[in-house]
Amino acid sequence: MGAQDTVDRADGRAADAEGVRERETRREQTHLDAVYRRLEEKIHEAEFLMDDAAKRGQVGTPGALAERDAQVFRAGIHLNRLNSEFEDFLFGRIDLLDGKTGERGPDGAYTSVEPADDAVRPDGGADIAETLHIGRLGVLDADYAPLVIDWRAPAAAPFYRATPVTPGRVVRRRVIRSKGRRVLGVEDDLLRPEIRATLDGEELPAVGDGALMAALGRARGHAMRDIVASIQAEQDEVIRAPAASVTEVEGGPGTGKTAVALHRAAYLLYRDRRRYAGGILVVSPTPLLVSYTEGVLPSLGEEGQVAIRALGSLVDGVEASAYDDQPVARVKGSARMVGVLRRAARGALELGEVPQRLRVVAFGSRVELGADELRAVRRQVLGGTAPVNLMRPRARRLLLDALWEKSGAARRHAHDPELAAEVRQGFDEDLDEETDFTDFLDAWWPELTPRRVLAALADEKRLARWARRMLRGGEVRLLARSLRRLGVDGTGPLSVHDVALLDELRQLLGPPAARPRRQEDDPLDQLTGLEEVTTAADRSGPRRRRPDVEEERRDYAHVIVDEAQDLTPLQWRMVGRRGRHATWTVVGDPAQSSWTDTDEAAAARAEALGGRPRRRFELTVNYRNPAEIAELADRVLALAMPGSTPPEAVRRTGLVPRFVAAVGADGADGADGADGEGNGEDLLGRTVRAEAERLLAEVDGTVGVVVAMGRRTQARQWLAGLGDRAVALGSLEAKGLEYDATVVVSPAEIAEGLSPREFTEGGPGAGGAGLRVLYVALTRATQRLTLVSGPRDLPDADGVPDLLRD
């Protein structure tokens, strides 16, 4: 056979393969068209329900209004879901052998996982008994046969769980790439290649061989995509794990922890919507990660039941906008602050001008309590354990007791207890109406707000008294200075750590006493006896709250904590209050922790989770980073956490990390001053900008420039005018995010400026945390990585910084 014959045969096979691909794509397009026709029918049904509900509302009776409202609410949700056309609405298919049982589930699919004993004939042939298409929502045809299986349904599990080692009934797994109503292509995995399977009398074809790798190579945008089309077995096991007690998930960079957490929220709602009607709270470390992930749940068919909140916005009415340096953050986040705040909550009663004498008129004569007597009453009140604001009624009662005793009336009526009780009641009622008494009580036991008490910590001398034997002198100075940005009443910018302090103070202070409010009569109430009728629109509108009282939901049915390794002890206490009766999913990676005292954080975490049983999972495969990038990051991991095992990268690109040194002849980088405000023309800035421009030309998606937290403003100036695809962010903001390409600027600065010799075991406590932050920065890229070194990195002739040399 000649060379030309070989080429011709190869061309023929390629043409045949292309023909099979086109034919299979057309078949999936035909099925997708049928799905959308059925969706349109369901949309018309939902619109009819909406119209019918509007007519019911014209009846005017309370019963009709309630029925109308419930119907509008249900139909509105249904219509909203049906009208949403997401990319990859239909994304998967599995072709299955005959199963051991013939039972059908509620989605119309057979429930059997294992093939029947006679599913494969002795000659190796088999018939495909069932084909299931997997999508974001379940769709049944008019005869209730499944057109699409919801990805969360038990019948869809083999799409994610089946492997060539344990294929179960799955012969072929197909990933369908679609956009809107158009099928773009298909990729197949044959999980039982030894079987000659037929479907409708034709041999089962296979198209392509890289469905997962194709999904991993897609360009990144600024929003997280769901992973329903590429969930792997170990991820699916976590997503579908029972919700009882606490599910703990550990995994290194790129293992899909955040995506798994969000998909788990959608799955739990699908499996037991009634149980989780109390809501699911997803806690993320930063607003950047919230904005990156918040679009995932709607695309999974879930919206409204899940709250995704950053730690800095976990308290309603409060939004963290300031940043604390690491030394300050370590003080504010420490569990020692609980004791400091407990003293502050009580000591704040002495703020301002506190009256030292109480004078009232009782029974026609003046009764007076002096400073010593008032101090004794205050000590007696504070002997209780109730929150400070809730002690106010006790303070009032003990003041009245002291005044009653001082008046001598108790002695005068001691012979007649019944008369004494009657006189005492009149005494209390008279004083409660005395302006002198009520004004004194307001000044002597004021209603305290968390913001006001937090602002009081800015007084260094006062804080030193409250923090005695709990904080060191240097820590007191750092804490007091950081809070001077607040006004006397606590107004001003707050950091994410301040929010946790506020939440702790709210617990210690308790809510202020409710002010009596005059209720105006509503003529409708008199006519119908109906106090309130609300509609779905009313309830979905902006929440109304008293402007002087901060309120938020504080009791969720399930709490998911993302990047849990970064929560400080005070933040664990804050999150724990929102999940007292909840089940939990806790997702994190100790190797990425930026908190220095991991033992202290572990104790606070254990307290927040309580005695609930634990179920632990580990994700071991790095789907984000190419092996070339992962290997470099693993060097830092070995320094930060000796003996730890990194996740295994599943792909290679041949693109090794690039090293660039931005060091002038005099060893300077040209940065302008210690405040990090550069003019955009210094050597480091020019180098970073040039690398960002080069990477923008090489990748289709985003480029992240990661700098030390103090350089964030400067880095944004370096990237000015490069467009939305280039993003500058601080090293602590990068957690959970990913970019097609990353520029990591000055690894030594990110690792707190310490040399490798200082990162040895027994070295400074901050060293390990700094290296873990650098490890995070090095693992954000899905394709390309550049490291730009300054003088502090001590780069060699090739630009490789001291920290990363072998």
Q: Please answer whether residues 311 and 284 qualify as being in contact, where contact means their C-beta atoms are separated by less than 8 angstroms.
A: yes
The SS3 call for residue 753 is coil
Q: Return d(Cα 368, Cα 399) in angstroms, integer.
A: 11
| Whole-Å CA distances, 22 to 180, 269, 566 | 19, 38, 49
String of DSSP letters for 196-221: EEEETTEEPP---S-HHHHHHTSPP-
Say whether 511 counts as a known binding-site residue: no
Contacts of 264 (CB under 8 A, 6+ apart): 238, 239, 241, 247, 560, 585
Which two tokens mark 74?
């249900």
Sign of CA dihedral 686, 691, 694, 697: negative
**Is residue 474 part of an annotated ligand binding site?**
no
The long-range contacts involving 75-79, CB below 8 angstroms and separated by at least 24 positions, are 75/46, 75/49, 75/50, 76/50, 76/536, 77/304, 78/42, 78/46, 78/49, 79/43, 79/46, 79/47, 79/50
Please give the single-letter amino acid code of residue 609.
L
Residue 254 marked as a ligand binder: yes
Residue 494 CB-half CA count within 13 A: 25
- Please tell me whether 767 is known to bind a ligand: no
Could you tell me how many residues make up the chain?
806
- Structure-block tokens of residue 17: 């393969």
Our measurement of the distance from residue 368's CA atom to the centroid of its chain's CA atoms, rounded to an integer in Å, reads 56
Confirm or deny that 667 is annotated as ligand binding.
Answer: no
583 is in an annotated binding site: no
Instruction: Report the C-alpha gap between 408 and 417 in whole angstroms.
Output: 14
What residue type is assigned to position 731 of the chain? S
Closest CA to 753 of 791, 718, 788, 787: 791
Helix (H, G, I), strand (E, B) or coil at 799: coil
User: Which token pair is 431?
Assistant: 């004083």
Q: Is 473 annotated as a binding residue?
A: no
User: Which stretches of 123-169 are assigned E, i.e. beta strand?
Assistant: 125-127, 130-135, 139-140, 146-150
Q: Is 255 annotated as a binding residue?
A: yes
| Binding-site residues for ATP | 251-258
| Binding-site residues | 251-258
